[in-house]
Amino acid sequence: MPTVDAKPGPFTFDLESTVLLVIDMQRDFLLPGGFGESLGNDVGQLSRAIEPLAALMAAWRTAGLPIVHTREGHLPDLSDCPPAKLRRGAPSKRIGDPGAFGRILVRGEYGHDIVDELQPVDGEVVVDKPGKGAFYATDLSDVLDKFGARSLVVTGVTTEVCVHTTVREANDRGYECLVPADCVGSYFPEFQRVGLEMIAAQGGIFGWVADSPTLISALEELR
């Protein structure tokens, strides 16, 4: 079993029971003009994660390991979007409103889909979720059970919101989680730093934090 140098200590995982989870790398969040930028955020802070994540995904596919993608968004009638969430953002720039890439965070729209660089390939599962956590109101648990997953490598955006929520949910369900620091992103550098520190704090209260080159090297050594 490969071992990766990580915080708070080495992370050892079984290739047969580990899934790479890619959270919400969607155009609405990452591209200029999208929903994320309309909220006043610097999308460049998120786009930094694209290149290292693409490299990790390529190595993961070469090793023949499973990848699961998630997308946050809602049904066209917004029946699965609570009122408090609908009120986020400036008027006319809220979930369901017309945006630069179609209706904002609505399933089936161009902006709801994953950025070109990280598109899923045939056979990879895509889980659509209405909330921050990837387990809430989705079939993710069933998907992971089919893969026999016990460990998750969690990537995506944003570090302190959807990534953190999912890692916490996974921790409560008994999964061991590794978060590659360069493959997650926040609009706020301070949130990125503190979010990662929180995961590995207190002896790994939620999981482990490493970097993707270390993880890729561990995979390559097994060839």
* Catalytic residue set: 24, 129, 162
Query: Rounded to whole angstroms, how far apart are CA atoms 151 and 127?
Result: 18
| 12 within 8 A of 5, measured Cβ to Cβ | no
| 125 within 8 A of 68, measured Cβ to Cβ | yes
Query: Rounded to whole angstroms, how far apart are CA atoms 98 and 30?
Result: 17
DSSP for 154-221 reads EEEE-IIIIIHHHHHHHHHTT-EEEEEGGGEE-SSHHHHHHHHHHHHHHHHSS-EEE-HHHHHHHHHT
Q: Which residues pair with 152 in a beta bridge?
A: 19, 177
